[in-house]
Structure 1
Amino acid sequence: MSAPCPTPRLTALLLAGGQGTRMGGADKGWLMLEGQALAERVAARLRPQAEALLISANRNLQRYAALGLVIEDAPEFSECGPLAGLEAGLRACASDWLVTAPCDLPLLPADLAARLMEPLLQGEARISVAHCAGHPHPVCMALSRGLLPSLQAYLRGGGRRVREWQASAGAVAVAFDDLPEAFSNLNHPEDLAKLEQAWRQQN
């Protein structure tokens, strides 16, 4: 199956600024899966879906720079968690739309952007969020660059919750129930071990 064409006026943002607390403080983007770093795998899946790839990171910046344009959190929002990376991505975005994904989803759908963008291009909303088996995956979203002022106001007001801000911005859900394995987060070392075992069985 050929790769989907990039959605017009779309930039991708790889979120790699997490602390990796449950992984012993490791930078999850550089954990290895069958000889390739997770960030490299996710970047390879995101890159064909957009016109440009941004990477939100706060360490190993040179390594991430080999994958895309690295952006750092604004000092004003440096303690705001994933939303700080999103704010930085929206500021750096030169396109009308931004699609985001975390660095620990190596099985990310090849049509993530196209499916998330469908309701936005139809004018149903300005932000969409991936859902699978009834559960939201908040950092897998597509949104209008025009939501930057809304996000900044939320952060300056003390807000920190991704789902809370998304709801306030009128987010709509996009179902990915056909791809449950694509949204298996790698939060603990045993999660990575299980995925590696399954990967070997399939390949």
Structure 2
Amino acid sequence: MNPISAIILAGGQATRMQGRDKGLVLWRGKPLIEHVLVRIRPQVADVAISCNRNAEVYGGYAKCLPDVIAGFPGPLAGISACLPLCEHDWVLVVACDMPQLPENLAGQLIAEIGQHRIAVAHDGEHLQPLALLMHRSLAPTLDEALREGVYAVQKWIRRHPHAVVHFNNPEAFININALEELTAE
């Protein structure tokens, strides 16, 4: 199996979290970022975190790089900024607010990627653009998209042939977007 790096995206504006840093809010007694790391670390060789604040806190968990483009340009900018921190050609990208990711996410994505350079998870109901595996050779296309004002990962994915990998488990891809969801079980 190919060695895989990971990027965890923790740089959103958190408007639905009343401005609180989403990766650091507590869920089941631990910050969301810790839940994601517990799921991801056994699957990858190294981890980088993209953040827009609290870099010193995130740096205690993994290599961390703040957003380099001002104005919260979105997850594509976070991926682009963190790629140089990744040690391997294959990079798993996940969001910090998905605490129940599959324990076989990276393995299943790489197993089903075929000849593509992107594999994106499908939970059985929806595509999950922030649960993807990409080859770092796509870095120039990230930068091109950003120059064109394309900040959404799903729009960038659509520009490339890609594999859709079915997990058929919506619960594994639940993302916590609002404070009310922290207590909903």
2:7 to 3, 9, 13: 13
Write out the 4+ residue segments of structure 1 that deviate beyond 3 Å after TM superposition.
Answer: none
Q: 1:70-89 maps to which residues of 2 (within 5 A)?
A: 70-75=64-69, 79-89=72-82
Q: Measure how far apart 1:113 and its partner are.
A: 0.6
Whole-Å separation in 2 of the counterparts to 1:171 and 1:140: 13
**Percent identity at matched positions?**
39
Structure number with the higher helix fraction is 1
Greater relative contact order structure (CA < 8 Å, 6+ sep): 2
TM-score w.r.t. the length of structure 2 is: 0.93
- Equivalent residue for 2:130? 139
SS at match of 2:48: strand
SS at match of 2:57: helix
Contact kept, 8 Å, 1:91 with 1:148, in 2: the verdict is no
1:94 to 51, 69, 87: 87
Whole-Å separation in 1 of the counterparts to 2:65 and 2:162: 25
Whole-Å separation in 2 of the counterparts to 1:190 and 1:83: 27
Deviation by residue 1:148-173 (Cα, 9 ceiling, x = unmatched)? 01111111122222111101022221
Whole-Å separation in 2 of the counterparts to 1:160 and 1:62: 26
Give the partner amino acid of 1:28: K
SS at match of 2:81: helix
Is 2:158 aligned against 1:167?
yes
- In the alignment, structure 1 segments of 5+ residues that lack a partner are 1-6, 196-203
Whole-Å separation in 2 of the counterparts to 1:33 and 1:185: 11
Q: 1:30-109 maps to which residues of 2 (within 5 A)?
A: 30-75=24-69, 79-109=72-102
SS at match of 2:8: strand
Whole-Å separation in 2 of the counterparts to 1:50 and 1:184: 21
- In the alignment, structure 2 segments of 5+ residues that lack a partner are none
Contact kept, 8 Å, 2:122 with 2:167, in 1: the verdict is yes
Q: Measure how far apart 1:139 and its partner are.
A: 0.9
Contact kept, 8 Å, 1:100 with 1:139, in 2: the verdict is yes
Q: Measure how far apart 1:94 and its partner are.
A: 2.2
Whole-Å separation in 1 of the counterparts to 2:22 and 2:179: 10
2:139 to 119, 136, 148: 148
Q: Measure how far apart 1:78 and its partner are.
A: 5.5
Q: Say which one has the larger Rg.
A: 1
Q: Measure how far apart 1:30 and its partner are.
A: 1.0
- Equivalent residue for 2:17? 23
Is 2:120 aligned against 1:129?
yes
Whole-Å separation in 1 of the counterparts to 2:3 and 2:79: 17
Deviation by residue 1:21-53 (Cα, 9 ceiling, x = unmatched)? 011111111111222111111112111111101
Give the partner amino acid of 1:59: R
Whole-Å separation in 1 of the counterparts to 2:41 and 2:183: 26
User: Could you say what the CA RMSD is over the residues aligned between the two structures, in angstroms?
Assistant: 1.5
